[in-house]
Homo-oligomer: A and B are copies of this chain.
Amino acid sequence: MADLKLPTRAEDFSEWYNQLVLRAELADYAPVRGCMIVRPYGWTLWENIQQALDRRFKATGHVNAAFPLFIPKSFIEKEKSHVAGFSPELAVVTIGGGEELTEPLVVRPTSETIIGHAYAKWIQSYRDLPVLINCWNSVVRWELRTKLFLRTLEFFWHEGHTAHATAEEAEAETRQMLDIYADFAVNDAAIPVIPGRKSEAERFAGAEITYSIEAMMGDGKALQSGTSHNLGQNFAKAFEIRYLDQKGELQHCWTTSWGLSTRFIGAIIMVHGDDQGLILPPKLAPYQIVIVPIWKSDEEKSAVMSAVKEIRAQLAAAGFRVKTDEREGMSPGFKFNDWEMRGVPLRIEVGPKDVAKGTVVLARRDKPGREGKAFVGRDNLCNAAGKLLDEIHIALYERALAFRKANTAETSEYADFKVAVEKGFALSHWCGSAECEEKIKDETKATMRCIPLDQAGGEGQCVYCRRPAREKAIFAKAY
């Protein structure tokens, strides 16, 4: 398999992506239409993402819990925008234990409703607030066009659900979680993101405000990479989530929800990958370092393998995630290509000469050829590896940021705007009307990704209707 060449990104970005996901054994198609199997290499990447986020959630006072997979159909219908948004996408259980159910059960597409029902029972007084709960689970949305990681019937995610006493606290929570996503994207995934507010059309079904982080993929398209919703009192009113305040008066709570899914793995692939395959950010990579032993004779093998064993132990003890490629019957060159395709950030080559000199060769995944190679003494290996992994993280981030800048145009004329969204992002004044947004979408296929929180530009004219516009927005074609 591994000798088959991937299509280049320039030839066919979509097919490059599809083949890479399969070849790198990140995921596979399931025998159920639109579902995916996340294979061990992909799932370990997801586990590292989970840990990086979970650490941040717990540090900000959140706790995990689990709510049922099944939701009574009537629950989904209690919040009117929610039902409109989700009912076309539901998977419905109608038979249980061999009998037709009196009320069909929906397989959760998201859990605001069933969690709202529980919060109504658990929350009595201001003393019970805030409630700060997160869940790691999977949800099902009946998508028609699917693509591994990016859009699947079942996908894996976390969903946070909080309840607060005041509107201000709910808004602060919503923004805090957006900040956490941005911090995670930049500092763990090396992905530059634009945090911003969604338009009404792109908002979560049932939210007052939806914030998102948006990233530019390697083909210039946008990917919404995490969302945080201020739900106002919409779900609190639909589910009677109320508390007695300090004056003894009954008040509705203010709730939020926020999520980030296995889509994010798609972002990692499409932001960092190149024509050789994946390039995984060092903080999240299942293996940060792969060791490839090089030998010809049995005598060489024995000396090399004994050095490799020591090197591996040394690196593992220092906390690196390290893999030795001991496969027989494959050339070192084949193994180099294979691990490059799988995106391991750092490769260590150990041959008989290295053993004799007490050195190793370190090769960076992100810099091909001589330029990316370093020759390091074994006594300095952990230190050098740590430094290189940090440098790779920064280099990946900077490359992605430079690419985004090069493919983002601040446009005030619609003619320029149309050119810009063919290539990447357009940052333009927008009057805020759903009508202009809709027309832009119809004419260019670009959607309003977000109104960036960072609004340096001041006022101007809407790029479409020329009416006064207070804010600039990002428009792009999107996944």
Binding site for B on A (CB under 8 A): 28, 30-32, 35-40, 42-44, 46-47, 63-72, 75, 87-98, 104-105, 107, 114, 117-118, 121-122, 127, 133, 137-138, 140, 142, 144, 153-154, 156, 327
Contact = CB atoms under 8 A, between A and B. Distances in A.
Nearest to A115: B37
A142 B97 contact: yes
Given A69-B107, A70-B153, A96-B153, 16 more contacts: A28-B118, A28-B121, A30-B68, A35-B70, A37-B67, A40-B64, A40-B65, A43-B64, A69-B140, A70-B154, A91-B95, A92-B95, A94-B94, A98-B142, A127-B327, A137-B138
Oligomer: number of copies: 2
Given A30-B114, A31-B75, A107-B107, A66 B90 contact: no
A94 B91 CA distance: 8
Contact of A97 (B36, B38, B44, B89): B89
Contact of A72 (B31, B67, B153): B31
Nearest to A75: B31
B96 A92 contact: yes
Nearest to A327: B127
Contacts of A37: 65-68, 118
Contacts of A154: 68-70
Contacts of A118: 28, 30, 37
15 contacts: A28-B118, A28-B122, A32-B72, A37-B67, A37-B68, A38-B65, A47-B64, A69-B69, A69-B140, A87-B98, A91-B96, A92-B93, A92-B96, A94-B94, A95-B104
Contacts of A121: 28
A67 B30 contact: yes
A112 to B, nearest CB: 14
Nearest to A137: B138
A69 B31 contact: no
Q: Which 6 A-B pairs have the closest CB atoms?
A: A97-B142, A40-B63, A35-B68, A92-B95, A38-B66, A30-B68
A167 B43 CA distance: 29
